[in-house]
Amino acid sequence: MTSARTSRSRLFLGRLWFVVALCSLTHGESTPALQNHPSHPGLPVRADLMDGSSLQFRSLARNANLTAARGGGAAVVAVPDSQLNASYGTFKVWRIDETTFNFKVFNRQFVSVGGDGSVVATAAAPGAAETFKIVRNAGDKNRVRIRAPNGRFLHVKRDYSVVADHGESTSWSEDDPSVFAMTNVGDMHGEFQICNGYGTAKAAPVLRNHWNTFIVEEDFKFIASNGLNAVRIPVGWWIASDPNPPAPFVGGSLDALDKAFKWAEKYKLWVIIDLHAAPGSQNGYEHSASRDGSQEWGTNDTSIAQTVQVIDFLASRYAASPSLLAMGLMNEPMAPGVTLDSLVKYYKAGYAAARRHTTKAYVVMSTRLAGDSGELLSFFGGGLPGAVIDVHYYVFNNTFTNMTARQNIDFIENNYAADLRGLTTRNGPLSFVGEWVAVWNVQNATKAEYQRLAQVQMEVYGRATFGWAYWTLKNVNNYWSMEWMIKNGYISLKRH
């Protein structure tokens, strides 16, 4: 280990949510209320039928559910409950406006209407023939009719076929075969949903207000005064096009990142820039700006090249800052959608792009979700100076549902510790626990147990040669907020 590497090893990092706004959607009209998902600090947005919302439609007259036969590539039909495949009977929306949508099916085709009124799910991309309006009953917004592009309404016939041939007239009764009970079985709560849901004119002031108020200079002072020495700042790929990013995103995130660097320099903090959202989405989650849960990154060379350009832009812009500690090439790519070959190809090119502008900054490369955390070691070897492998360790997923407090602690001290040891090699890259949080599934845990959970994780993850980062600095859910945990005596960092 070189002296430069030694001087920057064992970093204790406070995770900072600053640039990419990941949030929950909530119902509301002109001034929606604020709500939050535990991992996503919140913004006010309309929760009703945003991009990626998953809808199911049940014909009340036929007592049957709309479904894409074979999951797509064939007709849209209606089937009784006993024959329903829930995945095939779920339609993800692409929002055009508050009432107008495209419907995407399981196999990624879009629902269309033919000239004869037939309803099929065969289109590879949406157009005029794939554009529908959801007309809602005034007294029950979940009782709906679906107006097709031909101006007629979808209608379930007695043989369970579906056609777009019903007229305007309806009593909204359960006898009308064009009336459906609509159920929303899932929403997505990311920056794409905010920007496309609001529209540019409304989204811009909402996001800029968030960037100007959610994290401020005083937070950097708090970070520095509590034994933390760096911040990990997530960004989206469109930041490289600021102030005029491609639709639906709005400008302003680059200015927020510039401010963060100024504050970091003032309070002698390091900055890790982490690419949280790659073009096409590297994991299908809302925090990677997926429109509908699809994962498209890395399926072609274009998305890889575009992502390399983003790294080149960011490294060039901040290489001269004394606070630039590391460039994170990509957060949480998901296997098997992101293949190891495509990821290695990108990491090599992204590393080279960062090195064109800085030889001092570390280059952080995340392991794949649902992959082997050690799979990248054979690629790294000892040939990439300043390389860092990033792993994320959590204890609140389904694996830990029935575990006691003691069993959670044992898992961290045994399983996660062993995994971390396997990543820490003499001549290989540094190891980094890039995300963790003192949150678990243990019900009615005491303060002392939460303190123990946090302390054990800091001890174990502190063995990583590049340190750790807590998710996140601020959150309305107390244990997810490092600020709250510190202020209320659950975490103490000054002695580390």
Active-site annotation holder among 130, 435, 449, 483 = 435
Does residue 41 have a pLDDT over 60? no
Report CA-CA distances (Å) from 95 to 290, 334, 442: 13, 25, 38
What residues does 389 pair with on adjacent strands?
Answer: 365, 431
- 287 vs 237: CA distance, rounded Å: 12
- Interacting residues of 391 by C-beta distance below 8 A, sequence separation 6+: 366, 367, 373, 419, 420, 423, 431, 432, 433, 434
- 132 vs 151: CA distance, rounded Å: 9
Clarify whether 29 is annotated catalytic: no
Active-site annotation holder among 332, 375, 449, 483 = 332
- 468 vs 348: CA distance, rounded Å: 24
Alpha carbon 380 to chain centroid, angstroms: 27
- Interacting residues of 492 by C-beta distance below 8 A, sequence separation 6+: 486
Clarify whether 435 is annotated catalytic: yes
pLDDT tens profile 384-439: 999 999 999 999 988 899 999 999 999 999 999 999 999 988 788 999 999 999 99
- 26 vs 452: CA distance, rounded Å: 35
AA identity, residue 39: S
pLDDT tens profile 67-89: 999 999 999 999 998 999 999 99
Strands 387-392 and 362-366: parallel
Does residue 3 have a pLDDT over 80? no
- Interacting residues of 403 by C-beta distance below 8 A, sequence separation 6+: 395, 411, 440, 441, 442
Percent residues over pLDDT 90 in the chain: 82
Average pLDDT, the chain: 89
Neighbours of 449 (CB within 10 A): 17
- 115 vs 117: CA distance, rounded Å: 5
Does residue 126 have a pLDDT over 90? yes
**Local confidence band at 28 (pLDDT 50, 70, 90 cut-offs):** very low
Q: Interior CA angle at 392 toward 271 and 305, to 5°? A: 65
pLDDT tens profile 271-280: 999 999 999 9
- 317 vs 354: CA distance, rounded Å: 11
Alpha carbon 463 to chain centroid, angstroms: 28
